[in-house]
Amino acid sequence: MKRILITGGAGFIGSHLSEKLLNDGNDIICLDNFFTGSKDNIRHLIGNNRFELVRHDIINEYLAEVDQIYNLACPASPIHYQYNPIKTIKTSVIGIINMLGLAKRCKARILQASTSEVYGDPQIHPQVETYWGNVNPIGIRSCYDEGKRCAETLMMDYHRQNNVDIRIARIFNTYGPRMALNDGRVVSNFIVQALKNEPITVYGTGSQTRAFCYVSDLVDALIKLMESNYDKPVNLGNPDEHTILEFAKLIIELTNSKSEIIFKELPSDDPTQREPNISIAKENLKWEPKIQIKEGLLKTIEYFDRIIHNK
């Protein structure tokens, strides 16, 4: 049994991680400022005496005795991280400094939820961890991308300078139940529109590609990385790549929807291709995703159907 702090623990990925680590017998401190997370996501865990919920913002210092820290606190969808870009970058940069300080003091191992956005609009495909990226430092996505890049820098510097035990997960698009409704992410957008028989909005021509990982696979990978000896960045995601248009058509089919597909202008700095090379994770974590896209989408559709129709 370990004492584990999960920042952003009431969010989409954080709530699944909290649940898994709690079920594995650990003591969990779930810390969240509820900006995009919600008590509904972790309501079923409240009442367990190994689960503690703390309302806190990681841009302020937090003190606790813990063995491990998973730092997930940060809005992840463009609508949310662009709502207050200065706050977003503070969360990534000041937040990780606070968490690294805590890790240093109590000699805890710390895992940072980094992102494929550190590669920006990548010029090599699929992306490998040694690629340094192609990121616009002054665009509307920069508060997120550059914040996450700076957080990786801080992780490496605390490691080199203070011997802090670090793990860096570069997470690629992940989907599943408890994604926020209407947060503009492709999967949740398409499913909600399809379930309501509303037009499905595809930005650009829909030929841009994405590869989506189901949340239970991602949570397994995060835990394997935390427990491994691998202290350099690792891509975590599902390499099964599809065009956005293919996703739209598949979701229409799986929901039996009457929705039509409409096309809108592509937002600026939207990457054209995104697919992880996961060789490092396969070799060092003995991990690869197990859930096929149809199976994951059906579970996600069932969740949104319940939420939308109050079932």
Ligand X SMILES: NC(=O)c1ccc[n+]([C@@H]2O[C@H](COP(=O)([O-])OP(=O)(O)OC[C@H]3O[C@@H](n4cnc5c(N)ncnc54)[C@H](O)[C@@H]3O)[C@@H](O)[C@H]2O)c1
By CB under 6 A, name the binding residues for ligand X: 7-8, 10-14, 32-37, 57-59, 72-76, 91, 95, 113, 115, 171, 173-174
DSSP code of 229? S
Min dist. Cβ of residue 31 to ligand X (A):
6
> Does residue 303 carry a catalytic annotation?
no
Q: Tell me which of 144, 158, 175, 214 is the catalytic residue.
A: 144
Of 27, 44, 146, 56, give the one whose Cα is nearest residue 93: 146
Q: How far apart are the first and last CA of the chain?
A: 36
CA dihedral sign, ordered 65, 66, 71, 73: negative
Min dist. Cβ of residue 197 to ligand X (A):
26
Min dist. Cβ of residue 90 to ligand X (A):
7
Residue 184, exposed/middle/buried by CB under 10 A (0-12, 13-18, 19+)?
Answer: middle
Min dist. Cβ of residue 146 to ligand X (A):
13
Of 104, 121, 112, give the one whose Cα is nearest residue 6: 112
Which is closer to ligand X, CB of 34 or CB of 272?
A: 34
User: Which of left, alpha, beta for 179 (phi over 0: left; psi -120 to 50: alpha)?
Assistant: beta
Which is closer to ligand X, CB of 11 or CB of 289?
A: 11
Kindly list the catalytic residues: 144
